[in-house]
Chain A
């Protein structure tokens, strides 16, 4: 469920484009105007505005935004304004070029997007970076991480609901055996998690719980020293419980001393039009404070205003 609020009567694309251009005129920038427009338009509308802006002024709206805005606010506005596949391409490019073992962005994007969505990301990546996502992931990651991440970003999972229970049982057993033996990057573990449909993985995890009495996610928490484990755990979470995963990342981003703006920006920008409402409700339930209150407490200025607008809590 989306948190985006689009007014019932939206100005014409030409008007929006003109207003944005006005927002950049003269000294300083009218951030309020930028937020009031962009934070209240959906992807199709934003795309049309970018197009109109380019036709009318001969310039790229994103480049002008980049010139006029700065720091966290700028990043949020830029990421938000991009088309979702392009946005994901930019995020995966960053995650790949500045890859570290604790970076979960590649897993997040490869596993929470629908199959067709991931293909669109890969297409956008071709256009923008003149290479394939998988060749960059293969080149920049190593060892067990590459072994998992490459098939994850290359997957084109079947998206039907059909489930093979016999298979789910046998694969739950395989997972249990490998996890108990600490063979976290075993070929079969990777195979199951990188190629099975989401419905099948879900059924497998249910069988795991039924047969062995524990949640696989909990079983993957025991080894603090192992750097690969958090990535494997995130993979399962993203495939089967994405809203929970996003709530957790948000919670950690806000609680962290100083706030992890990167994660906060990314989750809000990428989920506002998808399932941020569910994530918001989960956040409230788990933390006894509404998300917008936590955001207001921890951020300030235009960055805060834009975030609050995107989670549907401003009064614009």
Chain B
């Protein structure tokens, strides 16, 4: 199909004039980020150019789509949307319809510095507030400080870090954890280290922690879920995402499970889904595709499988 025709099929699908799901899946399933961007840039009926330099999904259309094709639609919309808008909306939902700490940690910690900044910018456009002000205002639990810190970070992404500092910070973490405070996520030094250090630095801290204590840092934080998730998302996201998939594939039938499955596959398809697949296989003994064949249906299933298959062609 010619590109113009592909754009036509999609526009029809998103403006509610009847959908050729098979074409939708095969088109979207093979599009690279540039094709999606091209579609967003040229389809003026659905996307508007935002002053903060991303193509924003027109509000009326998003509302209309809420009524349309349920899970399939969710997956498709999430996939087509500009990543900044997508993450801003996920953050907003996590604050206002929850709060869901896991998703806040996930987005703040698995995105690159530039991607997180973009999401914060899109949040300004969409909701006329900053994400940090909304989290600080709506979340009253003790996790607030950690969450505000994580979402406000603009981490250094270069190759340099201080080996000696990483060693001493691994020691600090060891001592704080050993002291066994109940609300570890309130401990100042833990929050400081996790919310400000670069990912490379944190990986070094993780390594020194293992070398000096014999344990993995995320395992030692097992009793403090939010900290465990934070460390995993920052240091080994594929482990975090594998666990989310595992839980959701076992909990199928519950809404949270379908949402999580969709979110992980759609947001990681072009990032590290291949790694996640491998780790999932290692953990569960099943392949991800096999599980999805077993559990999902119809167009939703086909779309997810198409996205998963992308990972095999890339890299």
| Docked-complex contact B196 and A130, CB < 8 angstroms | no
Which residues from B are CB-within-8-Å of A131? 156, 160, 198
- With CB as the reference atom, state the residue of chain A lying closest to B189: A138
Please tell me if B171 contacts chain A, counting CB pairs below 8 Å: no
A155: B residues at CB distance < 8 A: 130, 132, 152
Which chain B residue lies CB-closest to A190? B136
Measured in the bound complex, the distance between the Cα atoms of B133 and A149 in whole Å is 16
CB contact list, B80-108 vs A, under 8 A: none
Q: Which of B136, B149, B157 has the most CB of A within 10 A?
A: B136
State how many angstroms separate the Cβ of B189 from the closest Cβ of chain A: 10
Q: Which residues of B sit under 8 angstroms from A160, Cβ to Cβ?
A: 124, 128
Query: If A131-B198, A132-B196, A135-B196 touch, does A158 touch B152 (CB 8 Å cutoff)?
Result: no
CB-CB under 8 A for A191 and B137, given A130-B158, A132-B196, A155-B152: yes
B153 at the binding interface (Cβ < 8 Å): yes
The answer to whether residues A126 and B137 also contact, given A132-B196, A157-B130, A158-B129 and a CB cut-off of 8 A, is no
Report B199 CB to chain A, min CB distance, Å.
11
Residue from A119, A134, A162, A191 in contact with B136 in the complex, judged by beta carbons closer than 8 Å: A191
Does A47 make an interface contact (CB < 8 A)? Answer: no
User: Which residues of chain A have C-beta atoms less than 8 A from B120's C-beta?
Assistant: 156
Query: Given that A138-B192, A138-B196 are contacting pairs, would A158 and B124 also be in contact in the complex, using a CB cutoff of 8 Å?
Result: yes
A130 to B200, CA, bound (A): 12
Task: Say which residue of B117, B128, B155, B192 sits within 8 Å of A132 (CB atoms).
Answer: B155
Q: Is the CB of A132 within 8 A of B130?
A: no
| A134 CB contact (under 8 Å) in B132, B154, B160 | B154
Please tell me if the beta carbons of B156 and A195 are within 8 angstroms of each other in the complex: no
Question: Is there contact, CB below 8 Å, between B196 and A196?
Answer: no
C-alpha spacing A138/B192, complex, angstroms:
6
Given contacts A122-B154, A139-B192, contact A154 B136 (CB under 8 A): no
Flag A220-251 by CB within 8 Å of B: 1 or 0 each. 00000000000000000000000000000000
A119 to B160, CA, bound (A): 21
Once the chains bind, are B158 and A154 in contact (CB under 8 Å)? no
Bound-complex Cα distance A158 to B129 (A): 5
Contacts of B197 in A (CB 8 A): 135
Contact of A130 among B117, B133, B153, B160 (CB under 8 A): B160
Please, how many residues of chain A have a CB less than 8 angstroms from a CB on the other chain?
26
- Given A195-B130, A197-B130, is A151 in contact with B152 using a C-beta cutoff of 8 Å? yes
Q: How far is the CB of B306 from chain A (nearest CB, A)?
A: 36
Query: Cβ of A281 < 8 Å from any Cβ of B?
Result: no
Instruction: Report the bound CA distance from A58 to B121 in whole Å.
Output: 39
Contact A119 B152 (CB under 8 A): no
A64 interface contact, C-beta 8 A: no
Q: Which residues of A contact B152 (CB under 8 A)?
A: 134, 151, 154-156
A159 contacts the other chain (Cβ, under 8 Å)?
yes
Q: Complex Cα distance A130/B117, Å?
A: 19
- Mask: chain B, 145-167; 1 = CB below 8 Å from A; 0 = not: 00011001111111010000000
CA distance A157 to B136 in the complex (A): 13
Shortest Cβ distance from residue B112 to the other chain A in the assembled complex, whole angstroms: 13
- Distance (Å) between the CB of B143 and the closest chain A CB? 13
Please, how many angstroms separate the alpha-carbon atoms of A303 and B149 in the complex? 42
Which of B124, B137, B149, B198 is close to A154, meaning CB atoms less than 8 Å apart?
B149
* Chain A 69-95 near chain B by CB (<8 Å), digits 1 or 0: 000000000000000000000000000
A89 to chain B, nearest CB (A): 12
One digit per residue, 1 when the CB lies within 8 angstroms of any chain A CB and 0 when it does not, for chain B 185-221 equals: 0000000100111100000000000000000000000
Contacts of B160 in A (CB 8 A): 130-131
Tell me, in angstroms, the Cα distance from A308 to B153 when the chains sit together.
Answer: 40
Inter-chain contacts of B155 with A (CB < 8 A) = 132, 135
B198 touches which of A123, A135, A156, A157 (Cβ 8 Å): A135
Chain B residue nearest to A157 (CB atoms) is B130
Beta-carbon nearest neighbor of B135 in chain A: A195
> Complex: how many Å from CA A196 to CA B136?
10
0/1 string, A246-282, CB within 8 A of B gives 1: 0000000000000000000000000000000000000
Please report the C-alpha to C-alpha distance between residue A158 and residue B196 in the assembled complex, in whole angstroms: 22
Q: Which chain B positions have C-beta within 8 A of A134?
A: 152-154, 195-196
CA distance A159 to B121 in the complex (A): 10
Please state if A196 and B157 are interface contacts (CB–CB under 8 Å). no
- Closest B residue, CB atoms, query A195: B133
Give the residues in chain A near B158, CB-CB below 8 Å: 126, 130
Query: Contacting B128 at CB < 8 Å: which of A123, A138, A146, A162?
Result: A162
B156 partner residues in chain A, CB cutoff 8 A: 126, 130-132, 135
The answer to whether A156 touches B117 (Cβ under 8 A) is yes
Could you say which residues of chain B place their CB within 8 Å of the CB of A156?
Answer: 117, 120-121, 124, 130, 132, 152
Given A139-B196, A154-B132, A195-B136, 4 further pairs, Cβ under 8 A: A119-B117, A132-B155, A138-B196, A158-B128
Residue positions of B touching A, CB distance < 8 A = 117, 120-121, 124, 128-130, 132-133, 136-137, 148-149, 152-158, 160, 192, 195-198
The 7 nearest A-B residue pairs measured at CB: A195-B133, A154-B152, A135-B196, A130-B160, A132-B156, A191-B136, A138-B192
In the assembled complex, 9 residue pairs joining A and B whose CB atoms fall closer than 8 Å, in A order, are A123-B154, A130-B160, A132-B156, A135-B197, A138-B192, A154-B149, A156-B130, A158-B133, A195-B148
